[in-house]
Amino acid sequence: MEKAIQVKGLQKSYKKLHVLKGVDFEVEKGSIFALLGSNGTGKTTIVKILTTLLKQDGGTAAVNGFDVAAKPGNVRQSISLTGQFAAVDEILTGRENIIMIARLRHLANPHQAADDLLKRFSLTEAADRRVSTYSGGMRRRLDIAMSLVGKPQLIFLDEPTTGLDPEGRIEVWKVVKELAGGGTTIFLTTQYLEEAEQLANQIAILHEGKIITNGTLDELKKLFPPVKAEYVEKQPTLEEIFLTIIGKKEEK
Ligand SMILES: Nc1ncnc2c1ncn2[C@@H]1O[C@H](COP(=O)(O)OP(=O)(O)OP(=O)(O)O)[C@@H](O)[C@H]1O
Ligand SMILES: [Mg+2]
């Protein structure tokens, strides 16, 4: 299998705070990879390093075959990032936001690109309203639409559904599934275990500076055999698995 991302021994400190202590993982092309971790464990730090916004202190990371430290320009050309906080311009309309990005990316026909993306994200009706009048879900959808301008092979979504209501969350999930269905590789971070359960082919848990578990949902579930109770088989939820793994590590 071809790898979209390869990370080995990644280290990062902010002054005395040692956040990443040797992070290792790989992401296969065309898959959805979910990075899980509690607040402040370093998920955004990993995203920033992989998207060339921040330099690591040690270890290596390659994105689409390009080393992030040696070939940042090539990495940037093959990815897009939707950051943890929506990066849309409030004063512009939805359409103007997309056209702006399409111009920055030197697309031949920015208006056509905007029409297509607005339609795909059900924003056609709201397209000519200022973003300041959009709901949280609409903003997120616009933000993701903007990150798709120019059809990147790999997209990073840092907590794409934080702050959304369940309906908005389901809409974003639908979009992510469609993208993956079309062959785009997706790297997402989340604190919602259900989100990883719904979307990801591969789930990695970041805890105390390292990836402590990495596998498919089925593999993670096998770590914890179902509890048998009077003819009823109960499968553990990812939340139970997550808390048990973290709890276990803390006991050591
Ligand atoms: N520029 C910075 N300077 C100093 N400390 C930082 C900086 N950026 C992040 N940190 C610290 O590094 C740790 C990891 O931060 P990071 O944003 O990567 O975590 P996260 O897993 O994305 O958290 P969240 O779930 O809250 O988004 C935190 O303790 C944070 O306070
Ligand atoms: Mg974060």
Per-residue pLDDT, averaged over 10-32, amounts to: 96
As a whole-number percent, the residues of the chain with pLDDT over 90 amount to 56
Supply the residue whose CA is at minimum distance from atom 26 of ligand 1. Answer: 39
How many domains would you assign to the chain?
1
- Per mean pLDDT, which range of 105-109, 126-130, 163-167, 240-244 is the poorest? 163-167
Is the CB–ligand 1 distance for residue 209 below 6 Å?
no
Kindly report the CATH number assigned to the domain that includes residue 211: 3.40.50.300
- How far is ligand 1, taken at its centre, from the CA of residue 12, in Å? 11
- How far is ligand 1, taken at its centre, from the CA of residue 19, in Å? 8
Is the CB–ligand 1 distance for residue 40 below 6 Å?
yes
In a domain, 212, yes or no: yes
Is residue 185 within 8 A of residue 27, CB to CB? The reply is yes
In a domain, 178, yes or no: yes
Q: What is the pLDDT of residue 129?
A: 96
In a domain, 140, yes or no: no
Is the CB–ligand 1 distance for residue 190 below 6 Å?
no
Per-residue pLDDT, averaged over 201-219, amounts to: 92
In a domain, 156, yes or no: yes
Q: What is the pLDDT of residue 248?
A: 60
Per-residue pLDDT, averaged over 172-201, amounts to: 90
Supply the residue whose CA is at minimum distance from atom 24 of ligand 1. Answer: 39
Give me the domain span that covers residue 198. Answer: 3-78+152-251
In a domain, 239, yes or no: yes
